[in-house]
Amino acid sequence: MTIQTAAQTTRPGVRSSRDAARMRRGIPWGSIGTYVLLAAITFFCLAPFYWMFVTSLKGSNEIFDNSLWPINPTLDNYAAVFGAQNTFVFALRNSAIIASCVTVIALFFGVTAAYAIARLEFRGKNVVLGLFLATSMFPGVAILTPLFQLFADLGWINTYQAMIIPDISFALPLGVYILVSFFRAMPWELEAAALVDGCTRGQAFRRIILPLAVPGVFTTAILVFISAWNEFMIANAMSQTPAAQPVTVAIAQFTGISQYDKPYGTQMAAGVIVTIPLIIIVLIFQRRIVSGLTAGGVK
């Protein structure tokens, strides 16, 4: 899969006709203004991230000089992230395990439910869909209190399941919501053809629809994974030792290079380490992610 460049992503037909219209009008002041604004938007989105990256490369003497690039770039902060007092390797491992489990469980249950909602006729269908949407309205705190009590009684605090189980409460509705719109977008003739060929509904789903739905399921998996990777509130309550914390909690509780340092540079370096993989995923799959995010939002 390649990263889409700007030129590739525009629809050629549309572009040529609009460009022609523009040329007739002479100097394209309007489009110059557009590109200035475009630069402003890019700046708005990227400048804080750039700042995080630049700060992560500054030594402890320069960290508050607020210069826009590092004068003496150093990797000290990155060394500190993986240093003795910060258990960041564990945190990365914990986040990867938790987010993967949440993704697999949410998709395992979500795919079948979304298929039924999208492509089968049954009584109470809108009630079921409404139920999934309503669950996405729940504030996490409404389930946090009782689950914390329960997991404390079970001795589950600082375990993976204590973070995975509550995460399902937002991951499964999110997965179903996105998958429903992907299943809906598939041609209706698919099952009809399979039924004519003697498949049952169940066989049509397993043999015809599921293989064709792989791209949509994959996109959903990316989005669910990112949402689980970024979860903070539940993990902050359920993990209380460094060895059990996922990255979001670990970063918020970082200490500096020395005990007396403000952990500014270390936190920024850790932030870069956590975010870079996400940004790579986002750049590679940007079209899919956008189609997944906007699924359902637009008809």
Q: Considering only residues 62 through 81, tell me which ones interact with other proteins, judged by CB under 8 A.
A: 64, 66
In whole angstroms, the minimum distance from the beta carbon of 43 to other proteins comes to 9
Residues 230-289 that bind other proteins (CB under 8 A): 230, 232-233, 236-237, 247-249, 251-252, 264, 267-268, 271, 274-275, 278-279, 281-283, 286, 289
Helix (H, G, I), strand (E, B) or coil at 294: helix
Q: Does 161 bind other proteins (CB under 8 A)?
A: no
61, 161, 228 from 148: Cα distances, Å: 42, 12, 18
Q: Does 147 bind other proteins (CB under 8 A)?
A: yes
In whole angstroms, the minimum distance from the beta carbon of 31 to other proteins comes to 8
| Residue 65 or 72 with smaller CB distance to other proteins | 65
In whole angstroms, the minimum distance from the beta carbon of 55 to other proteins comes to 7
Neighbours of 161 (CB within 10 A): 13
Q: Which residue has the tokens 């066989």?
A: 203
* Of the candidate residues 28, 73, 75, 145, the single one contacting other proteins (CB under 8 A): 145
Q: Which residue has the tokens 């179903």?
A: 176
Residues 192-231 that bind other proteins (CB under 8 A): 201-202, 205, 226, 229-230
Q: Which residue has the tokens 């970082």?
A: 254
In whole angstroms, the minimum distance from the beta carbon of 262 to other proteins comes to 8
Q: Does 51 bind other proteins (CB under 8 A)?
A: yes
Let me know if 143 is exposed, middle or buried by CB neighbors in 10 A (0-12, 13-18, 19+). Answer: middle
Q: Does 41 bind other proteins (CB under 8 A)?
A: yes
Helix (H, G, I), strand (E, B) or coil at 70: coil
| Residue 85 or 294 with smaller CB distance to other proteins | 294
- Tokens of residue 61, six digits: 């003497």
Neighbours of 111 (CB within 10 A): 22
In whole angstroms, the minimum distance from the beta carbon of 167 to other proteins comes to 9
Contacts of 100 (CB under 8 A, 6+ apart): 225
- Tokens of residue 120, six digits: 């089968």
Q: Does 84 bind other proteins (CB under 8 A)?
A: no
295 strand-pairing partners? 298
Write each residue from 110 to 139 as x if it is in contact with other proteins (CB under 8 A), else as -, in one continuous string: x-xx-xxxx-xxxx-xx-xxxxxx-xxxxx
Q: Does 8 bind other proteins (CB under 8 A)?
A: yes
Q: Does 294 bind other proteins (CB under 8 A)?
A: yes
* Of the candidate residues 81, 92, 162, 180, the single one contacting other proteins (CB under 8 A): 180
In whole angstroms, the minimum distance from the beta carbon of 190 to other proteins comes to 15
Contact 248, 95 (CB under 8 A): yes
State how far the Cα of 295 lies from the Cα of 299, in Å rounded to an integer: 8
